[in-house]
Amino acid sequence: MSFDLSARLAERRAAHLYRQRPLLESPQQPEMLVDGLRLLAFCSNDYLGLASHPEVIAAMQQGAATWGVGGGASHLVIGHSTPHHQLEEALAEFTGRPRALLFSTGYMANLAAVTALVGQGDTVLEDRLNHASLLDAGLLSGARFSRYLHNDAESLAKRLEKASGNTLVVTDGVFSMDGDLADLPAICATAKQRGAWVMVDDAHGFGPLGATGGGIVEQFGLGMDDVPVLVGTLGKAFGTAGAFVAGSEELIETLIQFARPYIYTTSQPPAVACATLKSLELLRSEGWRREHLNRLVARFREGATHIGLTLIDSPTPIQPVLVGSSERALRLSALLRERGILVGAIRPPTVPAGSARLRITFTAAHSDAQLERLLEALAECWALLPKESDDA
């Protein structure tokens, strides 16, 4: 007996679900060289335009010159360097929490937090539309795992009634494929009534949301009593790489002692931490980036509605255009690419069947003129797109 991998791949191709990696041949910026073509891109999560910022680049270069290019070992052996420590202190101060802990990726941070906090005999309840890393963490924790209806506090309450042991309620802050916000006030109030903890992965909220870019918790005026476990990633609005968990002294020490993805992984390069310290400084001091993003989003929603596109209620830089079938989504993406616009088609299983979409994302580096070019191309391509019933 052998693995029939070719049949699996052929099946995926036939269903218009085959994925291919675009080859980026230039830095992260609005105009990119992709697969040899110069394209205007609206698919990066570099929301504040910091990934190619000269000061962030210089900080990383200086960090590499001072600290070398490798972490060397896990944090608990000899890989926890001064830049890592300084960044953890800065992120704790930024989030208004006693401690923060660095991770190499957001996937690892989520896996670490959930599996270190709950296990056999406990309960983990998650939003149905949570990121794959959160869902995987719930499944791998060994705890009783259940998913409540999207953003539905009543559905959560029903599941909390059946919970046993320590109970962790887990939600994205901004849902990455829809761009909508978690109803945190209702989710936190419901969890608190049952003595459950809330964990929020605010990967897409830090930077764009909140008065100072502090994310969804700041936006809703919530504190550590409401959200004891706060996760953020550094590869999106921060423009660098890695992730962090922020919370109480006891939470962070618990993760250091029991979180296997933290204990058994080499630390990120110290130079990345140096770069992130600079990007955090820019995130906090240059509020115009968030203001410009908000203007771009408002103008896009106005223009897209005029074209007749179907949008989701999203106040964030993530602006999905619902298309329907995977085939139509791929066709619309291809039509845009022919006109020099790069937007990715998101298909099942990332999103539910029948809800394939273009996931348009904006950054503070996009200009007003580039946005108008996108709207013009969308209007032209939407008119050329076959209706759902016309698809073969």
Backbone angles phi, psi at 52, to 5 degrees: -115, 20
User: 236 an active-site residue?
Assistant: yes
Q: C-alpha dihedral over 361, 362, 367, 372, to 10 degrees?
A: 50
Alpha-carbon distance of 264 to 73, in angstroms, equals 9
Pairing of strands 167-172, 144-148: unpaired
Residue 201 sits at the vertex; the CA angle it makes with 200 and 205, to the nearest 5 degrees, is 105
The sign of the CA dihedral 216, 221, 226, 229 is positive
User: 176 an active-site residue?
Assistant: yes
* Residue 140: how many other CB atoms lie within 10 Å: 12
* Binding residue positions: 19, 106-107, 131, 176, 204, 233, 350
* Binding residue positions for substrate: 19, 131, 350
Alpha-carbon distance of 31 to 34, in angstroms, equals 9
* Binding residue positions for pyridoxal 5'-phosphate: 106-107, 176, 204, 233
Return the half-sphere exposure (C-beta side, CA atoms, 13 A cut-off) of residue 155.
12
Of 84, 204, 292, 366, the active-site residue reads: 204
- The helix-helix angle for 288-307 and 368-384 (nearest 10°) equals 20
Of 236, 278, 292, 366, the active-site residue reads: 236
Of 176, 279, 333, 355, the active-site residue reads: 176
Give the active site residues.
Answer: 176, 204, 236
